[in-house]
Structure 1
């Protein structure tokens, strides 16, 4: 038997496992989104918008990879195949776009926190022109 073969039973088990992970991720993502929108205070509204954006991108990433584009890796070979709705119509460029946006949002979150904790007369503090350019 070929070692790079995934049987139908194993594929079905992996698909069920991925759906369970997606269900848990949806519950936790909904709880996190609720806490960000309702529970967090208004003094951190600038940081909150970046965190909400990151949470939306994380959920979009979960929907894309776990529901629309189900990938099955073939180990130890560096490869795999997919079985989902978007396997033949979409590429991995969507995942790269989502992950790039998530990375940029995390960097913006770090810059926002950095600008909020440094003193006003510091040379590292953004002036008004660079503030509007960055944000």
Structure 2
């Protein structure tokens, strides 16, 4: 088993680059949702919450925390702003970051459900009872909280960490003494519980997104006689945008699932695989923001008007005979 303890230069540079670019993309997207959305009832605010969660997760990952995995040893350390300048324990940062990723996936699922319900209320069909919605809201609160508390159960105290290293991995004792901020996790029964929660939550969110999408497309026929053509077109575009964002969310779900698999697989390449997974997680927010803008006509058209246009032509004029004369710049 070989572990690299020095920070990976390419990953640090990647974190900062992607973090700042992602922050710009997310701020633009959030402003577009707030000021340039059509009247979308309360759905606008669910979409806004999801976009804010994307920005929050990537800001944590790339700027504030910057986690560095120590696989195949179950642990890691942080290099970000909060670790370097405020000395916050890596355990808290890693746990909060994972819980934030879970919340992000949940909010996307809520967007699907609430959009489906907004259409259901129009045609009075497949309306979910409020009691069931409240139960679902409780489950969405329970899952990230459960993940947070589970990590509390598998994390060693700071006092026990060095004793564990000295007993089980004495060859790395000096390396860990040089680390300023790290966390070591127990491999115990709570890890299996974490796997069950991860798989169950993932299946539920995926199933809910697929079911509501299929149901919304079936509703389109009933909506044709109840709403205007422009509204129908807007509903269809919103559904397609949600589907695109669901596909992009796989850039977050698949790496997180891979992390769970690495807990049980002591591969010598686990550290490199984990770093690659973190790089994918950091990139997904930029891709999601781009997909949302490109798949939403009002956002796309607004930016097309505001962005500087290539000056291939200096001016254009229409002659009385109807011919358009283009005066090229020389």
Shorter chain as denominator, the TM-score bin is 0.7 to 0.9
Could you tell me which residue of structure 2 aligns to residue 16 of structure 1?
13
Structure label with greater radius of gyration: 2
Could you tell me which residue of structure 2 aligns to residue 126 of structure 1?
128
Unaligned runs of 5+ in 2: 138-330
Q: Does 1:4 align with 2:3?
A: yes
Partner Cα distance (1:72, 1:93) in 2: 13
TM-aligned CA distance change 1:48 to 1:131, over 3 Å: farther
Could you tell me which residue of structure 2 aligns to residue 115 of structure 1?
117
CA deviation profile, 1:18-69 (whole Å, cap 9, x unmatched): 1000011011101111110111112x13111011111111111112111121
| Alignment counterpart, residue 48 of structure 2, candidates 52, 58, 63 | 52
Q: Does 1:31 align with 2:28?
A: yes
Partner Cα distance (2:52, 2:67) in 1: 22
Could you tell me which residue of structure 1 aligns to residue 65 of structure 2?
69
Query: Which 10-residue stretch deviates more, 99-108 or 57-66?
Result: 99-108
Q: What count of residue pairs does the alignment treat as equivalent?
A: 128
Q: TM-score, normalising length from structure 2?
A: 0.34
Q: Does 1:88 align with 2:84?
A: no
Q: TM-score, normalising length from structure 1?
A: 0.73
Contact in 1 for aligned 2:67/2:78 (Cα 8 Å): yes
Unaligned runs of 5+ in 1: none
CA deviation profile, 1:78-126 (whole Å, cap 9, x unmatched): 654322323525243212332232233222211112123336342x213
Query: Considering only aligned residues, what root-mean-square deviation do their CA atoms show, in Å?
Result: 3.0
Q: Which has the higher helix share?
A: 2
Partner Cα distance (1:72, 1:96) in 2: 14
Could you tell me which residue of structure 1 aligns to residue 178 of structure 2?
none
